[in-house]
Amino acid sequence: MIGLIVFILLFGFIFNYFYKAAYIRPDNFPPGPPRLPVYGGYWILLAKAYNNLGLASTRLAKEYKTKIVGLFLGPYPQIIVNDPIIIKEVLIREEFDGRMDTVVSRLRSFWKKFGIFFTDGYFWHVQRRFTLRYMRDSGFGRRDNVLEDVIAHNTKEVMNIVINGPQTIEEKVIVRGDLIYLPHFFAVPFINGLLHIITGSTFPRNMYPDLWYLAKQTLLFQRSTNDLGGALIITPWLKSMLPEFSGFKGLSNGNQALLDFFEVIIKDAIETYDEKYDRSFLDIYIRAMKEDMKQNKRSTYSVQQLQLICTDYMFPTATAVEMVLTMLVEQMLMHPEVQEKIHEEIDRVVGRDRAPTLDDRNKMPYTEACIREMMRTETPVTLGVAHRAMVDTKLGGYDIPKNTSVSVNYVSLHMSKDIWGDPESFRPERFIVNGKLQVSSDKSLPFGAGRRLCAGETFARQGMFLVLAMFMQQFKLSTADGKPLKQASKRIQGIITTIPEFWARVTPRY
């Protein structure tokens, strides 16, 4: 009898403990799923739409009848904003400019806090301001004729591999006869464009395989932060016990490839540095580092920080922009009329006697609109990079505790019927009025907004237009097997949304 009483009391105690842990929430915290042992509401989120966190968040918001979902990822409070107006509020409010300190952010920066993307506070402000000030002069934030020439030259070189045939075994990995391997086929112009901005030089054609390898490893990193990447953040001990299953090995290998790549470049820049000349952004940073370290014992400048700056900007450059163009290729394979309209516009505006330039961009609204519509229908980063509430604050009428992780569901903005009318349709014409591109009609935010706005937006938009226009002027697209493509491929969720690599057939138009 005594044993039964003890059992009942023990059971009641345990039940009460887990009940409180699951359902007791901070005062006025947004509604959301219960906090289950170890992983909180993480698996509940995934269960709503595995491999599609944007859709999963939308479904949770509908289930709990709220624009802001509150849950716990293990012990960490997390909110997900599913309302276009509140999304913009989060992006522009300074108290949400923080970043979460996770095993993933530490892994990629020597287990410290370096770089631009995953740092905050004074360190982030100083380094971001300096970086953008000087990289902008080389075309990162505005049009630059030399950068345009670099991207155009490298695009021609890659297309020549198709037109004249590959010359090496390495080139045959990307081009086989009239077949091209996507997304990596598009990588070289963008990577060499960024290298021109950072280093003042580019890799020649015989070194393109090094850039393709870099793109491959960068994509490995992006994809390794898939659904199980959240489990790695919540329970970082998985990196030792299950390095492959948790994604840690892929993250580590992919990231190390970029660190090694820039380590060699930066080492050479330091060894050949001459304070009398500024050959590139690297020289400007090295000079500032030397001066600041003399005056400031807690300087934010360092060789490792420079390595992470370069790595931060290379990650989206080597993957995201190529993936947008690759998804657009897939869209054209499913809907040939899109390809036909782009071809018609190029022939009418540019003709065939010269290559397209950025001067043609305003005269080619449909081509530009296709890129914008692709980024709207396939949000590159569905929940963005998580923000952190730097102080106790309020949002949408709820109390948000300090250090709460704050994510914005861009899918809820990009797929809003109130904004777009027919959001599920791929319809570039929505951005065109009276034959002209209406940028004011584009309410999408593929690059974010506010102080955390993607610094490479101008570089990415200009580069994507130029590469796409030059590519489509030369080639007609079809599937590798010649059969119509009936449906889109499976989406792979990671830091960015990607699709599986595939071969596409290109036929010279003349």
Q: Is residue 321 part of a domain?
A: yes
Domain that holds residue 161: 114-380+415-508
Q: Is residue 490 part of a domain?
A: yes
The pairing of beta strand 398-400 with beta strand 68-73:
unpaired
Phi, psi of 157 (to 5 degrees): -60, -45
DSSP code string of 342-386: HHHHHHHHT-SSS---GGGGGG-HHHHHHHHHHHHHS-SSTT-SP
The pairing of beta strand 432-433 with beta strand 436-437:
antiparallel
Q: Read off the CATH number of the domain in which 486 is found.
A: 1.10.630.10
Q: Is residue 243 part of a domain?
A: yes
Binding residues for heme: 454
Q: Is residue 8 part of a domain?
A: no
For residue 113, count other CB atoms closer than 10 A to its CB. Answer: 18
Binding residues: 454
CB 97 within 8 A of CB 125: no
Three-state secondary structure of 62-86: HHCCCCEEEEEECCEEEEEECCHHH
Residue 478 is predicted with a pLDDT of: 97
- Based on the structure, what is the number of domains in the chain? 1
324, 347, 356, 437 from 341: Cα distances, Å: 19, 10, 16, 15
Q: Is residue 346 part of a domain?
A: yes
Residue 6 is predicted with a pLDDT of: 58
Which residues of the chain fall short of a pLDDT of 70? Answer: 1, 3-23, 226-229
Going across the sheet that includes 175-176, the strands are: 175-176, 179-182, 502-508, 475-479
One-letter identity of residue 205: R
Site of tokens 């155009």: 152
Helix (H, G, I), strand (E, B) or coil at 492: strand
Q: Is residue 20 part of a domain?
A: no
Q: Is residue 371 part of a domain?
A: yes
Q: Is residue 60 part of a domain?
A: no
How buried is 173 (Cβ within 10 angstroms: 0-12 exposed, 13-18 middle, 19+ buried)? Answer: middle
Tell me: the pLDDT tens digits for 86-139?
A: 999 999 999 999 999 999 899 999 999 999 999 999 999 999 999 999 988 777
CB 331 within 8 A of CB 472: no
For residue 25, count other CB atoms closer than 10 A to its CB. Answer: 16
